[in-house]
A and B are shown apart, each in its own frame.
Chain A
């Protein structure tokens, strides 16, 4: 009666082991699939971060180029400012020369004026001399015309110089405005360069961050591969466990429950050994089977 109960219990336990092994097998199957999915996701992530890394690097390079260009533009604008300053100096030089020319023109004008008066006086004297002064009057007239032409030329030149002075003043004003604009440009370019430098720094940091993500993803990938291998092993172990449980069931079929009970000492030894074997089996999948067989043999031997 005791033996019968023992066999029944062993039967039940064997069934439970079989069911559990089947559950483990299906579970590891699921796990395997998910691990595979995780691996492929990680692969995609790795590819994406690779692209991101390339983009960020490109960004950083562009920012560095922009920074350099801004520096060059800054230099060019500064030189433009210097040129504008020199132009102003040159123009004030022109203004000074024009002033000197004006002074000389003034002297010429004064001489023409005096000459004109002298010629007029000569004409007056000639007229008062009557017939005797006639030839002299002609000369005086000629001198007066020359004086008038000189005066006219002097006044023309004076007008030209005044125009030129006006234009030079305007030019100085324009060049000054250009200089101011260039100074503003220099300031703006400085700001742009600062912003671009910030962008370059941020890109550098982004690149470092992406690098870290990359290495994390790589280690995750490695772990997932290890997990995958482990899951494969688990699957094989569960299958082996299931097989062994089935075989145990078959072997247990040897005992007819209606017949006389025997083998009471066999059971605890067998169950203890098989449980230990199953526990041991979960680690190395394939190598366990001969050990399992040995354990069973041992059981049988003992029996």
Chain B
């Protein structure tokens, strides 16, 4: 990792893009590191009425109200039984912040553009629009998420967007 980082010294921004990878169950996903604002341990958010099923509530993050979404619930796998070992990744999306509840943060990947494999097209596969590509690392496949598709405007309560 250090070697990679040192290797990336020459021109990081051009060649390398960095992804934070995390796990939900035994599946691995990646979010581009520049979209991330903060990574914090799970703390129980304040539930809001009539919120979408994947939304666990809101957190007050240094004066900013941030909706927290359960990625497992968003993938239709049921609510996460969250404890202190779970992690919330705060990302900037369309100018506002949202939190994404995941099981654990795994790693930071530095990727060359050529390393990202295209998502195979499936018949009526709705899920593929959430993915920007696939990466194979250390015998595991990491799905790179398109957050703006995953959490569309109607998911985020309008009162919270700015």
Chain A residues within CB distance 8 Å of chain B: 110, 113-114, 116-117, 120-121, 123-124, 127-128, 130-131, 134, 137-138, 141-142, 144-145
Contacts and interface: CB of A to CB of B under 8 A. Distances in A.
Contacts of B84: 110
6 nearest A-B residue pairs (beta carbon): A127-B33, A120-B39, A124-B36, A127-B18, A138-B5, A123-B108
B87 A130 contact: no
Contact of B5 (A116, A121, A128, A134): A134
B17 to A, nearest CB: 9
A130 B17 CA distance: 11
A142 B6 CA distance: 12
A144 B39 CA distance: 13
Nearest to A114: B41
A120 B2 CA distance: 14
B37 A124 contact: yes
Given A113-B85, A138-B6, A124 B1 contact: no
Contacts of B18: 123, 127
Contact of B1 (A110, A114, A127, A145): A145
Interface string B20-50: 1000000000000110111111000000000
Interface in B72-108: 84-85, 87, 105, 108
Interface residues of B, number: 23
Nearest to B105: A120
Contacts of B36: 124
B12 A142 contact: no
A110 to B, nearest CB: 8
A138 B2 contact: yes
Interface of B: 1-2, 5-6, 8-9, 12-13, 18, 20, 33-34, 36-41, 84-85, 87, 105, 108
A270 B88 CA distance: 155
Contacts, number: 50
Contacts of B6: 138
A142 B41 CA distance: 20
17 contacts: A113-B41, A117-B39, A120-B39, A121-B38, A121-B39, A123-B20, A124-B39, A127-B34, A128-B33, A128-B34, A130-B13, A131-B12, A134-B5, A138-B2, A138-B6, A144-B108, A145-B1
Nearest to B22: A120
Nearest to A120: B39
A120 B20 CA distance: 9
A141 B85 contact: no
A60 to B, nearest CB: 76
Contacts of A144: 108
Given A117-B40, A138-B5, 10 more contacts: A113-B41, A117-B87, A121-B38, A123-B33, A124-B39, A137-B5, A141-B2, A141-B5, A142-B2, A145-B1
A130 B20 contact: no
A124 B33 contact: yes
A141 B1 contact: yes
A249 to B, nearest CB: 141
